[in-house]
Every structure is written in C-alpha cells, then in structure tokens.
Amino acid sequence: MKILVINGNMTQAITDGCVNAAREVAAPGTQVIGATGTFGPQVIGSRAEHALAQHGMLELGAKHGADCDAIVVAVSMDTGLPALREVLSIPVLGMTEAGALTACTLGAKFALVTFGRRHIPTYGELIDGYGLGSRCVGVEAIDAGPNAALADPAAAVRSLIELGRKAIDERGAEVILLAGAVAAAWQRDVQQGLPVPVVEGIRCATLMAETLVRLAFPKPKVGSYSSPGVRTVSGVDPAIARLFGPGD
C-alpha cells in the first residue's frame, strides 16, 4: 500500500513532520511519501491563503497520486479535500476531519486547540460543516502562528498544554484535538501534559486511509462525489486537466 501525504503550502519542514507522523502509525509494508506545494502561500493562515492553496492541493494530488492507494491532506483546514474526493477514485482523508471523528469515539465532547487566533472562526465553521458542532465545546488558539511555533517548539508546546487545560477545566472537554500540521511531531509532548486523550489528525487519517483501502469501496457513480465528467479547463497543469475526463 502507498499513501501520499500532501501539504499545499511551501514549508517543507511541515511536510516532513507530517510524513514522519504517518510513518509512525502505518502498518508494516505501507509506504508513505510526501509532496509539498510549489506555489501559493508559504503557510496557510487565512481564508485567502486557504483559497489559493486549494489549486495547489489539486495539482499535488493529480501529479503525485497516480500510483498511490490513498491521499492524506496535511493541512489542518482540510484544504482541497472535497474537490480531491470528487475528482479522484482513491480514498482522500483530511487530517482535521479524521481527528474530529476519532475524538468523538474517545469522549462525549472535544475541544480543538490550534495556532493563530484569527483562525478560531474558520475552524468552528469547518467542524460545523462536518456535522460535529454539537460535540465540539470550542476552539482555543495560541497567539503564535505556524512559523513562530516552528521557531520555538518548546514554547509552542507549553502554550498548547495551557490551552488544553483551559478547555478541560472551563469547557468540560474530554478530548483535545490538536489541529495544525506543524504540531504533528508534538502530539506526545502535549499528551504528557494533559489528563485526557490528545488526538492528532495525521495519524488518525493515515490509519483511516489504510482501512478504506482494504475495504475497497467503489468510487461513487452518482452524487456530489461522483466524477464531474468531461469539463474544459484552461491554464492549469496538464495533470489537473486530465482529471476532468470522462466519467465512468
């Protein structure tokens, strides 16, 4: 089995951390490879950057996913996830969707802890979009963005633990969802500081991807995730254009 981990921003260190997290939990014999965006935002930290990166995610999936069995979206906003599921025939897993679904199996309520306070509303919208708003007691975010967190991981971990404790004590969170691809390498460190499970989405998505590959469900032939059929697209990478071919 071969799983592709794609990161739509241009920070290779984040991709590397996510690939390592996926390899930690992947079954023996599963190959995990990564691909990093070559254009667009350096880090996805706003709605505008999220929109720009969706094109990049489609390109990464199209160019690198042809011989893969599944794809894991290594962006905590699950950037490009619906579009990739629509045009590809293999399972595509988003790290935050996978993490949130896993959190729901571990406790009655979970809180999402992340980076950058301006992103609090967008994460709330994302969780609501998955139909899990009633299970999420809220979103907490440290002041630092991903780049600042990478520059001082120890301080970022301390801040994440503090916010996790706040969510547990004040919001009644029974699980902490650690959102942010930059934090994939820090799950164990944050877990050591908190008394409830700390869920990290790359690991969850990798295991779900392996499960879906083994179950071998067919690509939907009807509905919103069926192939869009023949479409004309211009000015994009040829690999993307080939995705808009005939449906089944």
Structure confidence at residue 246 (pLDDT)? 56
Contact 57, 84 (CB under 8 A): yes
Nearest-CA neighbor of 184 among 155, 218, 157?
Answer: 157
Structure tokens at 86: 């629509």
Cα 205 to the chain's mean position, in Å?
8
Nearest-CA neighbor of 193 among 166, 227, 231?
Answer: 166
> Can you state the angle between helices 201-215 and 95-104, rounded to 10 degrees?
90
Contact 162, 170 (CB under 8 A): no
Structure tokens at 220: 């939907």
DSSP 195: S
- Strand ranges across the sheet with 136-142: 136-142, 110-115, 175-178, 198-200
Domain boundaries, the chain: 2-94+204-243, 97-201
CATH number of 2-94+204-243: 3.40.50.12500
Record: fold of 97-201: Rossmann fold (3.40.50)
Tell me the pLDDT tens digit for each residue of 219-234: 999 999 999 988 888 8
> pLDDT tens digits, the chain, 248 residues: what are they?
999 999 998 889 899 999 999 999 999 999 999 999 999 988 888 899 999 999 999 999 999 999 999 999 999 999 999 999 999 999 999 999 999 999 999 999 999 999 988 889 999 999 999 999 999 999 999 987 777 777 788 999 999 999 999 999 999 999 999 999 989 999 999 999 999 999 999 999 999 999 999 999 999 999 999 999 888 888 899 999 998 875 44
Structure confidence at residue 248 (pLDDT)? 44
Which of helix, strand or coil describes residue 177? Answer: strand
Q: How far apart are the first and last CA of the chain?
A: 24
**What does 65-101 look like in DSSP terms, one character per residue?**
-TT-SEEEE-STT-TTHHHHHHH-SS-EEEHHHHHHH
Q: What is the dihedral of CA 209, 210, 216, 220, to 10 degrees?
A: 0
Structure confidence at residue 148 (pLDDT)? 75
